[in-house]
Structure 1
Amino acid sequence: MNIMTLVLVLAKMRWLTPKGLFLLLAAVRKEGVNVMLLLHVAARLFGDKPALTDDWETVDYRQLFTRSRTLSIHFSHVYKMKKGQKIGFLCRNHLSFVTALFAASRIGADLYLLNPDAGKNRLKEMMQHHAFDVLVHDEEFAPLLNAFSISACKKFIRSSTLQNAIADENGILPRSSSGRIVLLTGGTTGKPKEAVHRPSILAYISPFFTLVQRLELHHRQTAFVATPLFHGYGIGMLLSMIALGKKVVISSDFKADKACTIIKKQRIDVVSVVPLMVHKMLDCRVQDLQSLVCIASGGAELNPKLVQSVSDQLGMILYNLYGTSEGGLLSIATPQELATFPGTAGRKIRGIQLTACNEKGQQLKPGEIGQLCVKSKNGWAQTGDVGWQDGAGYYYLCGRTDDMIVSAGENVYPQDIERVLSYHPGIDAAAVIGIRDERFGQRLAAFVQPAPHLSLTTEELLSWLRPQLARFQLPKEIIFVQTMPHTALGKLDKKELEKHFSSTGEQQLPLT
């Protein structure tokens, strides 16, 4: 990160003016260095410009800051929140959630973002393990939390009550440095991992600048953050657009019909999504998406068939963002790069060191497959993703390290087979998993979702696959399903697919 990069970033944010620099220094002096600092400066720069719209109302930048500041004083004086406390959030996307995040950050509390769709057992486990000082939650989760009978959490606050929070207009808070923002990750099985981030201006300048530059976000006006704010991708896009003074639209849930209506009504020009959302919106009402000039897709693999579909129907507006909860944004592929290098995760962002390593931790040459690792303060950190880099500097993903299947002594990456299946004109979605097998160790099973009103047979599909795959990559079984299971983040839920088979590899009840 050099001085010129910093200058360019501040200029795009309209902060590199005498007024902007004065406001930044004044905000640091008053607030300290925390997420509220960003909103403080944005409120002074953008004032009555629309800032945030949810399912119920729209507030401008001045109102958003005032509500967040009032709530921070309310949290401190009424609920006795203080620096270093653990504040959990169990909320959908809405205005009260956003103001509560800013307010708790201002106090210097550690913010824990929980997945509302994690399931009863997982939520109970997280509550017991983390022993939050305060949990801010939506009304819909009250019965569930009451059923837990958890004494570890000291206070429960319903998010609906925060809209009417009051505080002394002259009340002040001491300056504070930001606490941690903790994302609880780990998929659908096993104990969640903690992806810990401590907001830092210098640490996030380079990723932010690359995001703005490649997606040309400084030229956009209104963004629809369709991804959940409890995920790093969602909260990162929200804060980026606020820093630029843009209007941000959020919604408590994602339904394709509702999303298309929002995009048309709000004249959205940039939307942050996962690939499944893109697919559903194209199938719903593609004519309502004509205002879009940028679709930022992340959180899951973007297959070449979907890239081509977006290009055919909406033009060259699809970007592929790759990152991890722990490492943040790592690479970006532009529409032009996706057209030239189908399936690529793009080039790494400025200031990031990303490479493929073997099992011994040794860096691999271009073209060699290994686990992607990112350089951190403590050395090379494993991402858990398998991939490789080509000679031109573009990265490609092969799946997760725990997805790799060893069948008859051969290493098989399911994503390679899934990518081929995605090109079949009669297939809407496909997933490949490994099933326990006494002879081969594991055998390949492909789950296939045919396109509507089309019928496929196993033999027809295998005949189509044989010329395109190595013999050891051919699925031993093909299971046709009506729909594929997905997690709350829109990722394919292979753990759910594995339930189709018993521990011995025998088929169970069919999926619907």
Structure 2
Amino acid sequence: MPVPSTVSDLISRWERERPDVEALRFEGSSWTWQQLAQRVRRAAAALRANGIGPGDRIAVLDLNHPSCLELTLACARIGAANAIVNFRLAPPEIVYVINDAKAKILFVGPEFTAAAAQIRDKLPCVERVLRIGGDADEYEPLLTAHDPDIAVHPARPDDCFVQLYTSGTTGFPKGAMLTHRGILAHSANVATDFVLGDDDAVQVAMPLFHVGGTSYALVAIHVGARMVMLRTPDPVAVLDMVERERITHTFLVPALLAAITQVPGVDQRDFSALRALSYGASPMPLPVMRACLTLFPGRLHQVYGMTEAAGVVSSLGPADHENPAAEHRLVSAGTPIHGVEIEIRDPATGEPVSTGAPGEIWVRTQQLMSGYWGKPEATAETITPDGWLRSGDGGYLDADGYVYVTDRIKDMIISGGENIYPAEIERVFAEHPSVADVAVIGVPDDHWGEVPMAVVVAAPGASIDENALLAYGREHLASFKCPRAVAVVDELPRNPTGKVLKKELRKPYWAGRDRTIV
């Protein structure tokens, strides 16, 4: 079978080989590969008829819906790109993303119609706003009005067809241009490592504006697996779908898994079809991991990745999760997946560091984005001339090649000349029975420059004894790493992928100072 050179080749293959096999299921509807291919061609025709051509962008602002995936595939056929908007952003950020992408058409789900109307006059590039779903749906009539377009733009491997925006924990988000080459490489590499084939059923639960949504769906398309899409990742709905649809592969974030472990009767559910439960995008507290190991034995895959690399770059498989002799590896991100190289470099010099020494995680793979949309300087700062991606994550490699992610380089605390990685402290405090959630930040100190502070959320039914918690830290950590204070909050601010927004936590402590940490 010829190796596909574009994403459009994948749909054509399954339409030819498995026309009547179910490709996608969403709520009460389902589509075969032939039906999906025809809908994508109609969407391509509709976009062309509305003036969308090679190099243009559209945008989708919606919860998960098959139309978003169809529009992404349609863009791949005509040489355009779908800039999928993070619907959890604040209105000014949504305006920024749509304008940054220079999107000509904005597709909007029913939950966001009013919000889109309020910002409409701030979107000078948008020529048309179209509603998806609901009583005023304009998407299905748009498809019906156009015959399937059989023409395919002669895409090059490095052409962008989907533009996903980074989480923007510092500054405004940047549009990572994901390409045919990068997505095909990621899909093949992940399918190999996670043993995913055309007889499998893949749950698409994460938002499509994230690689855990769109890239994961494209992995399923790569192998011809059946996709079952969830509009929103509600814990009970996730479990119901896994049972009802006999899901074999899914990807969930730790915050969602923590909620799943608390669903009444979860231990009585039938997970016999499930073979691979991947989790990532943020660290999993060890108490949650232990609960998941009990619920999902032999199925857990921790993944580490980034938007700029189309998704996953390393994985810790079930054997490492359940090896008593290597329990320390539970806090690692595993080893590089197929087709990925990982090195640790000195963030200042770019030179490799010795085994076990901390530095910045660098990644080289065919999966990489072509760059940040409209930001050549940021692209040059991130991707080296010889093809290495500077992740911005701090970490180290052990002697066996396992990757340990410590923190974002910018989150590292430098106290009296000592480098302190908050994740080390967070792992200790997360084990305390009174703590449900924790983040460690650097706060100003007149003597040391900055010192660690623990920001904690109390466990249900518990209260935080700050002095006792600090004493617990001193028992388990080197003295220079111990937080000097504890702040108790109702919840930690997080972005849609579950990453704590430490910039927001630091802001009040550094306000008005000549030196600030962002």
TM range (shorter): 0.7 to 0.9
Query: Which residue number in structure 1 is paired with residue 223 of structure 2?
Result: 244
Give yes or no for contact 1:43–1:62 (8 Å, CA) kept in 2: yes
Q: Which amino acid aligns with 1:466?
A: R
* Within-5 A mapping of 1:205-216: 206-216=185-195
1:123-168 alpha-carbon deviations (Å, 9 max, x no partner): 1122333322222222332322222212222222223322232255
Residue of structure 2 aligned with 1:314, choices 279, 291, 296: 296
Question: Which secondary structure does the structure 2 equivalent of 1:364 belong to?
Answer: coil
Question: What is the rounded CA distance, in whole Å, between the counterparts of 1:141 and 1:310 in structure 2?
Answer: 34
Residue 130 of structure 2 corresponds to residue 152 of structure 1: no
Query: Which residue number in structure 1 is paired with residue 367 of structure 2?
Result: none
Query: Which residue number in structure 2 is paired with residue 98 of structure 1?
Result: 69
Q: Which amino acid aligns with 1:368?
A: A
Question: What is the rounded CA distance, in whole Å, between the counterparts of 1:207 and 1:279 in structure 2?
Answer: 27
Residue 141 of structure 2 corresponds to residue 166 of structure 1: no
Root mean square deviation of aligned Cα: 2.3
Question: Which secondary structure does the structure 1 equivalent of 2:227 belong to?
Answer: strand
Query: Which residue number in structure 2 is paired with residue 64 of structure 1?
Result: 36
Residue of structure 2 aligned with 1:361, choices 347, 350, 353: 350
Residue 468 of structure 2 corresponds to residue 460 of structure 1: yes
Structure 1 residues 131 and 361: CA distance shift in structure 2, 3 A: same
Query: Which residue number in structure 2 is paired with residue 217 of structure 1?
Result: 196
Question: What is the rounded CA distance, in whole Å, between the counterparts of 2:117 and 2:198 in structure 1?
Answer: 47
Q: Which amino acid aligns with 1:154?
A: E
1:319-371 alpha-carbon deviations (Å, 9 max, x no partner): 01111111232111102123432211111123322111112111011100001
Query: Which residue number in structure 2 is paired with residue 268 of structure 1?
Result: 247
Question: Which secondary structure does the structure 2 equivalent of 1:342 belong to?
Answer: helix
Residue 401 of structure 2 corresponds to residue 424 of structure 1: no
Question: What is the rounded CA distance, in whole Å, between the counterparts of 1:500 and 1:218 in structure 2?
Answer: 50
Query: Which residue number in structure 2 is paired with residue 390 of structure 1?
Result: 398
Question: What is the rounded CA distance, in whole Å, between the counterparts of 1:91 and 1:174 in structure 2?
Answer: 27
Residue of structure 2 aligned with 1:496, choices 484, 499, 504: 504
Q: More displaced, 129-138 or 191-200?
A: 129-138
Question: What is the rounded CA distance, in whole Å, between the counterparts of 1:394 and 1:219 in structure 2?
Answer: 30
Residue of structure 2 aligned with 1:194, choices 175, 180, 195: 175
Percent sequence identity over aligned pairs: 26
Gaps of 5+ in 2: 365-382, 514-518
Structure 1 residues 483 and 284: CA distance shift in structure 2, 3 A: farther
Give yes or no for contact 2:186–2:219 (8 Å, CA) kept in 1: no
Task: Give the drift of 1:170.
Answer: 6.8
Task: Give the drift of 1:289.
Answer: 5.9
Question: What is the rounded CA distance, in whole Å, between the counterparts of 1:170 and 1:334 in structure 2?
Answer: 43
Question: What is the rounded CA distance, in whole Å, between the counterparts of 1:50 and 1:264 in structure 2?
Answer: 18
Question: Which secondary structure does the structure 2 equivalent of 1:356 belong to?
Answer: strand
Question: What is the rounded CA distance, in whole Å, between the counterparts of 1:50 and 1:172 in structure 2?
Answer: 22
- Count, aligned residues: 474
* Within-5 A mapping of 1:8-407: 16=1, 21=2, 34-77=6-49, 79-148=50-119, 149=121, 150-160=123-133, 161-164=138-141, 165-167=143-145, 169=147, 171-177=149-155, 179-180=159-160, 181-200=162-181, 203-204=182-183, 206-218=185-197, 221-285=200-264, 286=266, 287-288=268-269, 290-291=271-272, 292-328=274-310, 329-339=312-322, 340=326, 341-358=329-346, 359-375=348-364, 378-379=385-386, 380-407=388-415
Structure 1 residues 312 and 446: CA distance shift in structure 2, 3 A: same
Task: Give the drift of 1:426.
Answer: 3.5
Task: Give the drift of 1:169.
Answer: 4.1
Query: Which residue number in structure 2 is paired with residue 450 of structure 1?
Result: 458
Give yes or no for contact 2:22–2:30 (8 Å, CA) kept in 1: yes
Query: Which residue number in structure 2 is paired with residue 12 of structure 1?
Result: none
Task: Give the drift of 1:475.
Answer: 0.9
Question: What is the rounded CA distance, in whole Å, between the counterparts of 2:384 and 2:478 in structure 1?
Answer: 41
Task: Give the drift of 1:400.
Answer: 0.2
Task: Give the drift of 1:102.
Answer: 1.3
Q: Which amino acid aligns with 1:162?
A: Y
Q: Which amino acid aligns with 2:140?
A: Q
Task: Give the drift of 1:174.
Answer: 4.7
Q: Which amino acid aligns with 2:78?
A: I
Structure 1 residues 275 and 382: CA distance shift in structure 2, 3 A: same
Structure 1 residues 175 and 125: CA distance shift in structure 2, 3 A: closer
Question: What is the rounded CA distance, in whole Å, between the counterparts of 2:270 and 2:208 in structure 1?
Answer: 22
Q: Which amino acid aligns with 1:70?
A: R
Structure 1 residues 388 and 138: CA distance shift in structure 2, 3 A: same
Structure 1 residues 408 and 228: CA distance shift in structure 2, 3 A: same
Structure 1 residues 147 and 242: CA distance shift in structure 2, 3 A: same
1:77-126 alpha-carbon deviations (Å, 9 max, x no partner): 3x132222122222221111111211122111122222111111111122
Question: What is the rounded CA distance, in whole Å, between the counterparts of 1:295 and 1:332 in structure 2?
Answer: 12
Gaps of 5+ in 1: 1-15, 506-512
Give yes or no for contact 1:34–1:176 (8 Å, CA) kept in 2: no
Query: Which residue number in structure 2 is paired with residue 5 of structure 1?
Result: none
Question: What is the rounded CA distance, in whole Å, between the counterparts of 2:147 and 2:223 in structure 1?
Answer: 28
Task: Give the drift of 1:493.
Answer: 2.5
Q: Which amino acid aligns with 1:406?
A: I
Give yes or no for contact 1:307–1:318 (8 Å, CA) kept in 2: no
Task: Give the drift of 1:193.
Answer: 1.7
Structure 1 residues 219 and 466: CA distance shift in structure 2, 3 A: farther
Q: Which amino acid aligns with 1:352?
A: V
